[in-house]
Structure 1
């Protein structure tokens, strides 16, 4: 343990300090009203420092930063399960579950096809598709160790979530008057198609409390689907990339995905007081902020620029599909379950 802290301590302290500063910054009213969460702030701050002063201390802090970017990221994904319970499926009903599954499958399939047509590299395509189809930055971070992608590709995918999720957050309430939906239907629509939890909250509350409550529950159900999605993604990549992902019978279930499902299951049982769960959620957000700041520190702006406009174009296509296709599917599902 002493050797671990000697080699990793400085880097972990650096990412913890960044996470603490970003947590305080994200609580500013202006950022909260804009729906910009601590993970986004941590990524941006990490990238700024990573492309300016980090090189001077990289030799002393690199090991700890990489530990935060990999191991702490996986731990953060595990404890993300404290945000959800299986009872949320009952609250939104089978209509909400079906809508989420259909949107997730259709969005990722579209991402895969459009990414190939646009010439976006495979890792970036998968990460952008995961972020759009499941639950934003948290899904990108969960997929990163499954895909085994480079840091700059993860950063590009997170950036698309921020850009187009923010656009949706403001556009959906403006379009509400023309959509012909009640607050329940609008809440399902927002929860099934907007990228980030914070963005879902803002888009829902702009219409009403009922819309906000339904939207958040629907969004949490999407988060719950992250575990089976990552399992399927890992199995698919094992067949597609046998030399880098084990292949065939050698493929092993990612421990952090199983951990995520286990934590969600424990949370569903209600064995811990809600106050404890709230503390665990806050602690997990801090761990994820450390991981995001570490990811930013290791992301070089030149590598992001090299990715070009194609990833943004792919993300734009997916955002349009989420808005238009999500509306059509939402209407169809509600008619089916009427």
Structure 2
């Protein structure tokens, strides 16, 4: 046990150690140049953690390992629950059926495509394939973190998935402003999009929440309805992570039963933290908590997520990546093409249907 009498001191020291790294990641993310790129402290945290894992980890007391593990497991679940304070059901209603359907279609198709390509075509293991797919289909690094305990995946597999989110999410930030000029300038035709349509497209296809915010901000004279639509559609995708994880838990239980890997019956894996996440979003929708308090809660939650990501990075040794080759890159690249091209087509068709 992490807080048993013999482990308590090492656990607390390990948690403090992770918190120091997370604080450094937060300060780096607050630098203007880094903030302009839309790089979240979560991403910086895992980079710092990986640096530590492959350079300095032998110089830290092994007793601290329980605290690092606690940060990557228990603190992670707690932080995912309180992520619900970033969402209200009213915001989802405001974007309308078009935004909801684009979110649902892109999440489902991207996750299925990425999982299938990674596992069946590019011969990755099932956990890495699904983690990579969850990052692209839902909300980047936070989705990878939320999916990891359901799959019971190793930390280095999580790091692979996050690295793909960082790579293709960063490419998106430079690509989408170029696409904006290409779809806004034509007055008519299939390539033309209104600012609101483009906002739905951005929110439905870009990986990270921070990147969705950064894209409209990088376009000069961005219409307000475009920026608002992008963020709301993105947050709709975020809240869908809870039902996705529940369905994933059911699927894993069925697969275990089919293969006969669980003796004496199969226990259904329900990610309760995902259920609590929906409950927290519902509570936030009642607007009982003042906005300034919610803002503080979200800042603390971001720091806890950064701690979890840093802790996962600290368990990532490069030697564990042997054998993966370019498979993660191929899988993430295929999903990226689907998000950019398929997402555009889906957005146009859905908006035309529900407008």
State the aligned residue count: 338
Choose the corresponding residue for 1:258, options 275, 300, 316: 275
Contact 1:128 1:140 in 2 (8 A): yes
Q: Residue 134 of structure 1 aligns to a residue in which SS?
A: helix
Residue 305 of structure 1, CA deviation: 4.7
Contact 1:82 1:264 in 2 (8 A): yes
Contact 2:53 2:313 in 1 (8 A): yes
Residue 205 of structure 1, CA deviation: 2.0
Deviates most, 187-196 or 168-177 = 168-177
Contact 1:191 1:200 in 2 (8 A): yes
Post-superposition Cα deviations, 1:233-257, rounded to whole Å, max 9, x if no partner, equal 1110111134778997631422211
Which residue is equivalent to 2:243? 228
Which residue is equivalent to 2:32? 29
Greater helix share, structure number: 1
Contact 2:150 2:269 in 1 (8 A): no
Within the alignment, does 1:212 sit opposite 2:216 as a pair? no
Deviates most, 250-259 or 94-103 = 250-259
Relative to the length of structure 2, the TM-score reads: 0.92
Residues 30 and 297 (structure 1), Cα distance of their counterparts in 2 relative to 1, 3 Å cut: same
Within the alignment, does 1:281 sit opposite 2:298 as a pair? yes
Residues 141 and 246 (structure 1), Cα distance of their counterparts in 2 relative to 1, 3 Å cut: farther
Unaligned stretches of 5+ residues in structure 2: 184-191
Where do 1:294-309 residues align within 5 Å? 294-309=311-326
Cα separation, 1, equivalents of 2:31 and 2:103: 32
| Structure possessing the higher radius of gyration over alpha carbons | 2
Which residue is equivalent to 1:152? 156
Where do 1:80-159 residues align within 5 Å? 80-115=83-118, 116-159=120-163
Choose the corresponding residue for 1:238, options 250, 253, 266: 253
Contact 1:238 1:245 in 2 (8 A): no
Unaligned stretches of 5+ residues in structure 1: none
Which residue is equivalent to 2:168? 164
Deviates most, 273-282 or 205-214 = 205-214
Within the alignment, does 1:202 sit opposite 2:214 as a pair? yes
Residue 102 of structure 1, CA deviation: 0.7
